[in-house]
């Protein structure tokens, strides 16, 4: 189960280059249901995602580079490439009705900086161990607008976006 909230930051933090960064390329073989292939640095896999916005089923299967390259030729729509910066959230804040975690919970912001044709799009995601924590999370102000419930921010929908040439 993937449980995440999405945000559209208006600016990238100045110290972004001090955080680990992954190069991601992904494409969609199908968007209903979502079947995605992804290269993340030197890892390759296929993902099935169920329906939903904040919470949905997700299954990953490993691929080798040759299988990824073969499937990439069968992708529909845009191939998405982006840099993902992994930013730890040292002291996450939650609403008053949510019990404060007694131990560090390891939340992190996955800040995706998209390459053309999507640039200057930036989307931030935070994954959670349960829906209650996700709902109670108070994001840092710089994360901007919460777009979790807007399906336009799903990468599968971005893959179908048409750009004027």
Element (H, E) at 165: none
Q: Alpha helix locations (H) across the chain?
A: 65-72, 131-136, 155-158
List 28, 44, 68, 153, catalytic entry = 28
Q: Is 48 a catalytic residue?
A: no
Coil, helix or strand for 6?
strand
As beta bridge partners, residue 127 has 4
Tokens 């729509």 sit on residue: 77
Name the residues annotated as catalytic: 28
């Amino acid at each position: 189960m993937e449980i995440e909230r999405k945000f559209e930051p208006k600016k990238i933090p100045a110290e972004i280059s001090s955080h680990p960064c992954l190069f991601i390329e992904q494409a969609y073989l199908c968007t209903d249901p979502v079947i995605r292939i992804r290269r993340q640095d030197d890892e390759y896999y296929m993902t099935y995602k169920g329906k939903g916005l904040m919470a949905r089923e997700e299954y990953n299967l490993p691929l080798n580079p040759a299988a990824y390259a073969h499937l990439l030729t069968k992708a529909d729509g845009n191939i998405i490439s982006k840099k993902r910066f992994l930013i730890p959230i040292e002291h996450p804040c939650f609403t008053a009705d949510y019990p404060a975690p007694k131990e560090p919970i390891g939340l992190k912001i996955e800040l995706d900086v998209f390459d053309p044709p999507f640039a200057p799009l930036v989307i931030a995601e935070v994954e959670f161990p349960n829906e209650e924590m996700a709902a109670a999370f108070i994001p840092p102000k710089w994360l901007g607008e919460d777009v979790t419930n807007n399906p336009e921010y799903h990468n599968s929908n971005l893959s179908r976006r048409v750009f004027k040439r």
